[in-house]
Amino acid sequence: MLLDDQKTTARSWFESLRDRICAEFEAIEREAGSDATFDYLPWNRTDPSGEAGGGGVRGLMKGKVFEKVGVNVSTVHGQLEGDFAKTIHGADSDPSFFATGISLVAHMTNPHVPAVHMNTRHLVTTKSWFGGGADLNPPLPYDEDTAEFHAELKAACDRHDPEHYPRFKQWADEYFYIPHRKTHRGVGGIFYDHLEGDWGANFAFTQDVGRAFLDVFPRIVRRRMEMDFTEADRARQLEWRGRYAEFNLVYDRGTLFGLKTGGNIDAILMSLPPLATWS
């Protein structure tokens, strides 16, 4: 497959995955008696060169079950600037880049329902690769939910390479860690990056990660969304949202990439919770 065809194929997949996820989340809102829907805001960027640099669509919903959920798809291109280019795989000798992907963060109303993050992407510099992952962030963890989330991701990994899950789980454990708090931001998942070589195989794996998320997370939401909760439960949720915000603002590479490439600020920071507390 030619490079331009690969870019178009990847973009189309991320957009179709967004549509399926948003439809499922809206269906959950209907089950809860809510008419909440996603609002979609298109945005465009200008490359530092002055040329058009692509853009994306920010999808945002605030409902009864999903206190705040963002599902973004962006497709951007242009030139990476200065020292930042040296930090991007394959861009140290040529700052030209192309990136397309989906990014999702859901903050839930009920503290028994875990917050979640999922992101998959395709980047092209002088190299071409996929990256992404998903991780579960429950204020009140349930072993059943954690096991089911990991089992679904492991099954997706095992269909492609038995070494994927142990490697990518460990990578997530190391990546989604808050050093200044000496704690993980959740119960983990998988994280992978710079997956290059066989484009078709890597794309198929990235698709399976998206499908696994779409299969498992709505099941967990439906299991917990009608549970009773206390003020203490809510306080715990807001405290852990603060940890989530700290990670995304201090350590998250996706946040930095979006800001450094001139992305839409609201889309980049949609990962931040609507309410949080710090003691």
Q: Where are the domains of the chain?
A: 3-271
Please report the pLDDT score of residue 1 as a whole number.
Answer: 64
For residue 81, name the pLDDT band (cuts at 50, 70, 90).
confident
The architecture (CATH level 2) of 3-271 comes to: 3-Layer(aba) Sandwich (3.40)
For residue 66, name the pLDDT band (cuts at 50, 70, 90).
very high
Tens-place pLDDT, residues 131-185? 999 999 999 999 999 999 999 999 999 999 999 999 999 999 999 999 999 999 9
What DSSP line would sit under the chain, residue for residue? --HHHHHHHHHHHHHHHHHHHHHHHHHHHHHTT-----EEEEEEEE-TTSSEEEEEEEEEE--SSEEEEEEEEEEEEEE--HHHHHTSTT-SS--EEEEEEEEEEEEESSTTSPEEEEEEEEEESSSEEEEEEEEEE-SS--HHHHHHHHHHHHHHHHTT-TTHHHHHHHHHHHHSEETTTTEESSSEEEEEEEE-S-HHHHHHHHHHHHHHHHHHHHHHHHHHTT----HHHHHHHHHHHHHHHHHHHHT-HHHHHHHHTT--HHHHGGGS-SS----
Please report the pLDDT score of residue 254 as a whole number.
Answer: 86
Q: If you average pLDDT over every residue of the chain, what do you get? A: 95
For residue 279, name the pLDDT band (cuts at 50, 70, 90).
confident
pTM, two decimals, is: 0.94
Which whole number is the average pLDDT over 187-207? 97
Tens-place pLDDT, residues 1-53? 678 899 999 999 999 999 999 999 999 999 999 999 999 999 998 877 778 89
Query: Catalytic residues, which ones?
Result: 117
User: Is 263 or 182 the better-scoring residue by pLDDT?
Assistant: 182
For residue 257, name the pLDDT band (cuts at 50, 70, 90).
confident
Which whole number is the average pLDDT over 212-237? 98
223 pLDDT higher than 90: yes
